[in-house]
Amino acid sequence: MPNGIDLILADHQAVSAAFDAFESTLDATIVARIIDQLRAHDDAEHAALYPLAAIVLEDAALLDASLQAHAGVKRQIDHLRAQEGAPFVEAVAGLRALVDAHVADEEKRLLPALQAAATERQLDELGGRILQAKQRVG
């Protein structure tokens, strides 16, 4: 089983690929898949990643930045659901910008800090908890 960091990185890549697919096709059904992926990822991070990071890193500011980013993504999803046509495409682009910024920050700061501070066992257990959280989402 992959460790938790590997699973988070795989989610980041999958969402990025889905955004790329939307941008090349403008197929709105892809956006529904993106939203589902983001919801499952959000649940997994809140249920598993952030609790471990709070214990291992003891860096409230770092975690607060991630939580604020998640809140912004949720607001943008609510906004784009009310859009059609060109405003919908613009709202998806806005969502991608928020997600890309969060991913870049997480991959630059949070995940390397967690990799350095957590034990291999903690990271393996994190992987299991992430998979469980994602199964609950469906």
Predicted TM-score (pTM) of the model is 0.92
Contact 125, 43 (CB under 8 A): no
Range of the domain at 65: 4-137
Residue 35 identity: I
How many structural domains is the chain composed of?
1
From the list 99, 102, 113, the residue with the least C-alpha distance to 65 is 102
Q: Which two tokens stand for residue 91?
A: 């709202």
Q: What is the reported pLDDT for 60?
A: 83
Q: What is the 3-state secondary structure (H, E, C) of the chain?
A: CCCHHHHHHHHHHHHHHHHHHHHHHCCHHHHHHHHHHHHHHHHHHHHHHHHHHHHHHCCHHHHHHHHHHHHHHHHHHHHHHCCCHHHHHHHHHHHHHHHHHHHHHHHHHHHHHHHHHCCHHHHHHHHHHHHHHHHHHC
CATH of the domain at 80: 1.20.120
From the list 31, 16, 47, the residue with the least C-alpha distance to 135 is 47
Residue-wise pLDDT tens digits, 29-66: 999 999 999 999 999 999 999 999 999 998 888 888 88
pLDDT tens string for the chain (138 positions)?
789 999 999 999 999 999 999 999 999 999 999 999 999 999 999 999 999 999 999 888 888 888 899 999 999 999 999 999 999 999 999 999 999 999 999 999 999 999 999 999 999 999 999 999 888 765
